Amino acid sequence: MSRVGIYGGTFDPIHRGHLHVITQLFKRDLIDKLLLIPAGNPLLRSCEPSASAEQRRTMCELAVSTLPEEIKYKVQVNPIEILRQGPSYAIDTVEAVRASFPEEQIYLIVGADAFSKIDQWHRAQELQKMVSVLCINRPGYPATGIDIGAIDAAATTIRQGLSADVPEVVAEFIRENGLYDNQ
């Protein structure tokens, strides 16, 4: 039985902190395959994503291309949530992944910030029975999970132009598409 990780997020934009999480998941042998899933319509965010769903998907694909060879072939950017109409619920994604990987152990990878709100998620108790949750400790949040030496990077500071914690190919895409200029 292999271990399939689901790492969802708004990824507005994906940054070095996310890539560090991905790398550590494999280096610490926590998963065998990873589905990186940009959120479609994230319900627990206070504002809409700045970049379109398709732009966020492209940034994820570009970022994954910068991972070490032995890791990037194990990572798939999956558009299931951005292709879904209406709200994006983690449980719907987990059910779809379970249908594609019926014999695999499914892990839901979440940061400590998201984990602190997991009880607010749609059908939260049912979701937590369907998957093993891997909570990743994050700077500035109570340590409730796995310490991977997380990088203190935040998409908010990148959008505000206060940080450049993205791979160069992602930074180039941001510049070419005029993303985050008006933040």
Residue 180 within any structural domain of the chain: no
d(CA 140, CA 56): 25
What is the structure's pLDDT at 46?
Answer: 63
Q: Look at residue 183 and tell me if it is in a domain.
A: no
120 in Cβ contact with 90 (< 8 Å): no
Q: Is residue 115 part of a domain?
A: yes
**Assigned domain for 153 exists:** yes
- Concatenated DSSP letters of 76-95: EE--HHHHSSS---HHHHHH
Task: Please provide residue 36's backbone torsions phi and psi, each rounded to the nearest 5 degrees.
Answer: -95, 115
- pTM comes to 0.93
Over residues 53-66, the mean pLDDT reads 97
**How does pLDDT run across 74-94, given as a tens digit for each residue?**
999 999 999 998 888 899 999
Please check whether residue 57 lies inside any domain of the structure: yes
Whose CA is closest to 65, among 135, 167, 178, 151?
167
149: exposed, middle or buried (Cβ count in 10 Å: 0-12, 13-18, 19+): exposed
pLDDT in tens, 126-159: 999 999 999 999 988 888 899 999 998 989 899 9
For residue 68, tell me if it sits in a domain: yes
Distance, in Å, from the CA atom of 111 to the CA atom of 42, rounded to the nearest integer, reads 15
For residue 26, being part of any structural domain is answered with: yes
How many domains in the chain? 1
- For residue 181, being part of any structural domain is answered with no
Q: Give 110-125 pLDDT, tens digit per residue.
A: 999 889 989 999 999 9
Q: CA–CA separation, 4 vs 32, rounded Å? A: 6
Residue-level pLDDT at 82? 93
Query: So what's the pLDDT on residue 49?
Result: 83
Q: Look up tokens 């042998």; give the residue.
A: 29
* pLDDT (0 to 100) of residue 101: 96
Tens of pLDDT, residue by residue over 15-50, are: 999 999 999 999 999 999 999 999 987 665 567 788
Looking up residue 100, the CATH number of its domain turns out to be 3.40.50.620
The range of the structural domain enclosing residue 125 comes to 3-174
